Structure 1
Amino acid sequence: MKVLGLILAGGKSENLGKLVYKRASAALPIAGKYRAIDFTLSNMVNSGIIKVGVLTQYNPRSLMDHLGSGKEWDLDRKKGGLFILQPYIGFSGEYWYKGTADAIFQNMTILRRGEEDYVLIGSGDHIYKMNYSDLYMYHFSKGADITLITKELDDTYDISQYGSVIVDENMKITKFYEKVKNPPTRRAFLGIYFINKHLLMELLYSTVPNGGNDLLLDVILPRLDELNVYAYDFKGYWRNIKKGVDEYFKINMDIINDRNVREELFYQNGKVYTKLKDFPPAKFTSNSEVVNSIVADGSIISGSVKNSVLFRGTVVKAGAKIENSIIMQGTVIEEGAVVKNAILDKDCHVREGQVIIGEDELVVLEKRTII
């Protein structure tokens, strides 16, 4: 079966504040050496999808540098491969993507010229592991026009930030509540669509020119009674970093503290691929103390690190203490400094003896901060 993968990676993600001032949310570093987009992209490749388009918009430089030619995901190929789909100025005036439907509509060429019969649409800032083969079979067995992936969310999620669905006994979606305060169900839509390509093209042609720019709100929901739209329940770990800094922090802490999450994300349903960098192994001196932490390659640790994630090339000097924190690539923590309950972005520098402690909320330092 031929499937085109589309990854939506152009959102501004204002909830992430300083972390996305200079990068797209899909390019946010995760778990020491990965980027958020690695998970969705690897899911597609592991499921046999060999043609993937990434729709970018805000701050795309870091994301494009990470993806490159797609070599690490085996997408540097003559047939299929990786396509970076950015906004552009055309004769008819297209430029900025106005929404998810408009973004796909402006890149209709990748749909028209492809040999694929189906389209899988996902997001670049969702952290989960899934082989989509069962989704394909489910879609056909239901005779569905569109299948939306859903999940029963527990109390660790703010349900008011998600769209929730009501289904009948056959899992057909009958009602949809878009981000309401107290929905009658906790079955949330995860922003992942599976749809016949020609149906998608027809829906976009009849909607976007008339001002409907959102794939869910303007294209699918107004036709909920006309189309066979089914829900496919996902049972595994799933988080959306776009929901905010606390959500981003929780994802990294879940990977540290929950063995089941680590095994699901990194050992089941194939590997998570990422861009390789030529760093030596991490170095731990005789003065170092590392407890329950991820320390990536190229790091040099002489101080104390507890319950933290350290990315490539970080330096923690003697007497420095790091606890419950995320320290991104190239950051230097000098002698005697203390960092607790904080996120330090790339290439920060904490001088000798400085104290950074988040009390009621996380402290976030943007890229190249010196303190």
Structure 2
Amino acid sequence: MRALGIILAGGNNNRMRELSNKRAIAAMPVAGSYRAIDFALSNMANSHIQKVAVLTQYNARSLNEHLSSSKWWDFGRKQGGLFVFTPTITKENSLWYQGTADAIYQNITFLKNSHEPYVVIASGDGIYKLDYNKVLEFHIAKRADITVVCTECRDQSEVERFGVIRMNDDCRIEEFEEKPIISSYNTVSTGIYVIRRRQLIELLERAAQEDRHDFVNDILIRYKNLKRIYGYKIDSYWSNISTAEAYYRTNMAFLEPGIRNYFFRQEPAVKTKIDDLPPAKYNAGASVKNSLVASGCIINGTVENSVLFKGVFVGNNCVIRNSVILNDVYIGDNTHIENCIVESRDTIRADSDYRGEDGVRIVVEKNDRYVI
């Protein structure tokens, strides 16, 4: 493909609550065995984009470990590769990334040293499958300066989380409002953009001279009447996990047969880093219904309508319902967990009871697993 990729994975959001205290949102576990960033990386690889830069910043340790080898997404080629860029103190700059445009600008040498004519920019917290080649074909056919991938937000109450778009009959964007309190439109930006590389360099340099740092407000919205900005609408599954509630809903969506079939059984595949773990083990008395149970789990109790990530231990007489249990959680005997997200590496004492009464509850317990 005649494009290079940039994945923005450095942001933080307080609406993730305790879940983002120790990891970037792009590193959040999804669907039992994946990380959020795997979906953008897989889309890049499946679209034959061989050169991809990931821009990290907030709580990047877990994300950097996940990205330590490019072979899992097939970027390990002599041409191209996977590049991870973090903020760096230089003679000219000693600041953290001040916004999405500034993050790319601080790594503008990557763009200037590349030869691909186009750039695909994606967010690291989107859960979707997309052939970026089709977006590029649309971009070229429309002779667009910038193409924004958009979708329909089915829940009007969620519109305030996104950039809201109004297009004309030719798909040219006429209005773009970033995270409005209320809007009569429900077409929202997915945070995926296609732009010519030289044009991107020009716009970033101009924004930096004017001390502007945000890609949406200072480039898309600022130039919407001066540049040919078009919207490419998708109707396949897309979700953004930037709030705790959205993260919970996204994981629970994978319990639907149609969603599982779309991501797990239909090509192209979603790729991730593989851990050498034994298969899940179901001991006598275990009961599992409509759940995803990852490798390395040991189940003794009852699990219903839940997602269990790698290395989870469920004790005797436990009941887990409508919950997301992250990696390496130990759940003691006779415990009841319902409508919860349990943070990774937690130790839940025996006879505990956690229930989300008014929405999803996040459980963070750091009890000692072994008493000396």
Smaller-chain TM-score range?
over 0.9
Higher mean C-alpha deviation, range 48-57 or range 268-277: 268-277
2:337 equivalent to 1:325: no
Higher mean C-alpha deviation, range 262-271 or range 313-322: 262-271
Contact 2:316–2:332, Cα closer than 8 Å, also in 1: yes
Q: Match of 1:68?
A: 68
Contact 2:302–2:319, Cα closer than 8 Å, also in 1: yes
2:264 equivalent to 1:252: no
Contact 2:50–2:75, Cα closer than 8 Å, also in 1: yes
- Counterpart CA distance in 1 for 2:99 and 2:86 is 13
The aligned runs of 1:35-50 (5 Å cut-off) are 35-50=35-50
Shift, 1:50, TM fit: 0.8
- Counterpart CA distance in 1 for 2:311 and 2:286 is 16
Return closer, same or farther for 1:31/1:369 CA change in 2, 3 Å cut-off: farther
- Counterpart CA distance in 1 for 2:226 and 2:188 is 22
After superposition, what is the alpha-carbon deviation per residue over 1:247-279, rounded to whole angstroms, capped at 9, x for unaligned?
Answer: 0000011111x2222222233341111111010
Contact 2:4–2:51, Cα closer than 8 Å, also in 1: yes
Number of residues paired by the alignment?
369
Return closer, same or farther for 1:107/1:335 CA change in 2, 3 Å cut-off: same
Higher mean C-alpha deviation, range 359-368 or range 89-98: 359-368
Contact 2:2–2:116, Cα closer than 8 Å, also in 1: yes
TM-score (norm 2): 0.96
Higher mean C-alpha deviation, range 54-63 or range 359-368: 359-368
Higher mean C-alpha deviation, range 160-169 or range 63-72: 160-169
Contact 1:287–1:303, Cα closer than 8 Å, also in 2: yes
- Amino acid of the residue matched to residue 292 of structure 1? N
- Counterpart CA distance in 1 for 2:230 and 2:171 is 6
Contact 1:172–1:229, Cα closer than 8 Å, also in 2: yes
SS at match of 2:254: helix
Shift, 1:353, TM fit: 1.1
Contact 1:46–1:269, Cα closer than 8 Å, also in 2: no
Contact 2:279–2:295, Cα closer than 8 Å, also in 1: yes
- Amino acid of the residue matched to residue 299 of structure 1? C
After superposition, what is the alpha-carbon deviation per residue over 1:38-61, rounded to whole angstroms, capped at 9, x for unaligned?
Answer: 001101100111111000000000
Shift, 1:226, TM fit: 1.5
- Counterpart CA distance in 2 for 1:83 and 1:366 is 33
Pick one of 272, 280, 302 that aligns with 1:304.
302
Higher mean C-alpha deviation, range 97-106 or range 124-133: 124-133
- Counterpart CA distance in 2 for 1:367 and 1:356 is 11
Higher mean C-alpha deviation, range 179-188 or range 221-230: 179-188
Contact 2:18–2:362, Cα closer than 8 Å, also in 1: yes
- Counterpart CA distance in 1 for 2:40 and 2:324 is 22
- Counterpart CA distance in 2 for 1:334 and 1:364 is 18
Return closer, same or farther for 1:152/1:91 CA change in 2, 3 Å cut-off: same
- Amino acid of the residue matched to residue 230 of structure 2? Y
Q: Match of 2:278?
A: 280
Contact 1:301–1:317, Cα closer than 8 Å, also in 2: yes
Return closer, same or farther for 1:359/1:184 CA change in 2, 3 Å cut-off: closer
Contact 1:9–1:55, Cα closer than 8 Å, also in 2: yes
SS at match of 1:347: coil
Q: Match of 1:239?
A: 239
- Counterpart CA distance in 2 for 1:366 and 1:78 is 44
Q: Match of 2:268?
A: 270
2:5 equivalent to 1:2: no
The aligned runs of 1:72-91 (5 Å cut-off) are 72-91=72-91
- Amino acid of the residue matched to residue 165 of structure 1? I
The aligned runs of 1:110-125 (5 Å cut-off) are 110-125=110-125
- Counterpart CA distance in 2 for 1:156 and 1:173 is 20
Report percent identity of matched pairs. 40
After superposition, what is the alpha-carbon deviation per residue over 1:145-182, rounded to whole angstroms, capped at 9, x for unaligned?
Answer: 11001111112751122211111111111111222233
Higher mean C-alpha deviation, range 341-350 or range 258-267: 258-267
- Counterpart CA distance in 2 for 1:314 and 1:159 is 35
Shift, 1:102, TM fit: 0.4
Contact 1:295–1:309, Cα closer than 8 Å, also in 2: yes
Q: Match of 1:92?
A: 92
Shift, 1:368, TM fit: 3.9
Shift, 1:93, TM fit: 2.3
Unpaired runs of at least 5, structure 1: none
Unpaired runs of at least 5, structure 2: none
Shift, 1:69, TM fit: 2.0
Contact 1:129–1:269, Cα closer than 8 Å, also in 2: no
TM-score (norm 1): 0.96
